[in-house]
Amino acid sequence: MNNTMKFSISETNNGERLDIFLSKKIKGLTRSFIKKIINKKEVKINNIITRSPSKKLKLNDIVLINVVEKTENKLKPKKIKLEVSYEDEDLLIINKQKGMVVHPGAGNYENTLANALAYKYKDNLSNINGKLRPGIVHRIDKETSGLLVIAKNNFTHSQLSKQFIDHSIRRKYICLIWGVIRPLNGRIQTLISRNRKNRQLMTVSDIRGKKATTNYRTIKVFTNKDIPKISLIECELETGRTHQIRVHLKYKGTSILGDNQYGKKNPKFKKINKDFLPILENIKGQALHAQTLEFYHPTKKKRVAFKSELPSDFKKMMDLLYKLAS
C-alpha cells in the first residue's frame, strides 16, 4: 500500500496550474506543501516527472502524486477523552464534542483531537497530512459536534480522500435555525471565499471563491405564542468548505441558534416561555451536529453508515420545542 494518488484531467481543469489543481483535489494539503512535493520530484504528468508547480495541465493528462510525509513540529500527545463510535483495523469513527478543535493551529497546540489521537493511537494512524494531523481526513468546526472518520493507514486515507473529492461520501448535519427557510426544501449553490473585512469568516461571493453546494430539507417548524418560530432542518453537504452550512444559512436570511459569528446574538424577547431562555443560553456554540456519515469502506469493500446521538444541550432544546408544540 502506497500514498500515490492518480487524477485524470477533464474539460473543467484543462489549462489549470498543476499546484492549484492538486491543492483543490487533495483535501487537507496546502498549495505551498504541494509545491514542496513537486520540487521533490514526487509528481508525474503522463509518467514524466515534473518540477514545475505552474505547469498548465491539458485535457486527458494523467497526474500521479506521491504524497510524502510532512516535516513539521512534533505533535504533543495528550490524554483527552474520546468518544469512539466505531473502530476496525483501518479506520475509526469519532463523535467529536463541541469545543474541541480538530488539529493544532494558531493559539491551540495541545488540546485538539489530533493530540488526543496521538496519545491513544501513537503512530498507528495515517501520516499523509503530516505529523500535526495524524489520521485526519476531514474537519468540522470547533463548536460543531458530530462524526469524523479517522484513517489508520495511508491507503485508507487516500481512498477516503478520493471519496470526498468525487462527493460519494454522504454527510448529513442537523440544526436548529431561527424562523423558516424558504423554500422549505432546496439546494444552495454559491461560491464561498474569505470575508475581506474579517479573514476569520467566510462569505458568499458572486465573482470569486470555491464552489459550495448544500442540500437541505425542513424536518419541523416549531410555532408557539410563547417562543419565537424555530425550524429543525437537515443539511447534506456535497462540498466541504469552511463554515459552509453556516455561511449558506446566512445567505438564505437565517442563522443557527447559538451562532454569534454568522447570526445575531440571542435576541431579546418581551414575552417568552420561562424555560426557553435558560436552555437557549446553555447551548454551547451553535446548534449544529454532524449526525450521519456514510461511505465506501476501502478494505471491507462495502458501503457503511454511522449515526450519532444529539449532544445534551441540543436535545434539551428539542425536547422543550416538541413539548411546547404539542
Q: Give the Cα separation of 204 and 195 in Å (integer).
A: 9
Indicate which residues carry an active-site annotation: 141
Rounded Cα distance, 212 and 241, in Å? 7
